């Protein structure tokens, strides 16, 4: 099936819907029926809930047909720090990798996107033969970071 992508934005966040991944589990519409309304146009009512509620519900999509991103601030606000409560946990492990827990979208240098779930370990020592992921090389090369 050909990839089809639709985006719905309120200016602060954008919900991305990939029709080719959707299995119509109804997790979205049962969780936030005011926002996700299959059969109506547009089916995503982006202003019907808070950004936080929408982001939390989108993360429950079992196939990742739904995802979101936070829109970048306008030029005049580009130096402001933006915080996003996404349910992710990022931990720097002593003398080891960076541990990311939760669902993330990894974008490689070519722009290819890959969804990672659970725990993902990223190399900090620079010695991994499986970059950007950790392969345990930090144990051999005496990494102290």
pLDDT of 77 above 60: no
Residue 83 lies in a domain: no
Residue 84 lies in a domain: no
pLDDT of 142 above 60: yes
pTM: 0.53
CA-to-CA distance for 84 and 74, rounded, in angstroms?
A: 17
CA-to-CA distance for 22 and 4, rounded, in angstroms?
A: 10
Average per-residue pLDDT for the chain: 87
**Token representation of residue 119:** 């725990």
> What mean pLDDT comes out for the span 119-141?
94
| CA dist list (Å): 97 to 23, 67, 93, 107, 119 | 35, 26, 6, 19, 12
Cis link prior to 132 (omega < 30° from 0)?
yes
In the structure, what pLDDT confidence band is assigned to residue 10 with cuts at 50, 70 and 90? very high
Sign of CA dihedral 55, 57, 62, 63: negative
My answer on whether 98 and 129 are in the same domain is yes
My answer on whether 9 and 55 are in the same domain is yes
- Range of the structural domain that residue 127 is part of: 89-141
> What mean pLDDT comes out for the span 93-103?
90
């Amino acid at each position: 099936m050909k990839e089809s992508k639709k985006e719905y934005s309120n200016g602060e966040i954008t919900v991305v819907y990939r029709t080719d991944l959707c299995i119509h589990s109804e997790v979205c519409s049962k969780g936030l029926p005011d926002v996700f309304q299959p059969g109506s146009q547009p089916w995503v009512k982006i202003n019907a809930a808070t950004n936080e509620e929408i982001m939390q519900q989108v993360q429950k999509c079992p196939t990742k047909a739904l995802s979101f991103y936070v829109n970048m601030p306008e030029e005049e606000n580009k130096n402001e720090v933006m915080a996003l409560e996404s349910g992710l946990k990022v931990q720097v492990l002593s003398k080891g990798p960076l541990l990311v827990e939760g669902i993330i979208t990894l974008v490689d240098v070519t722009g290819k996107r890959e969804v990672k779930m659970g725990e993902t370990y990223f190399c900090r020592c620079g010695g991994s033969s499986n970059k950007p992921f950790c392969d345990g090389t930090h144990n051999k090369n005496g990494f102290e970071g």
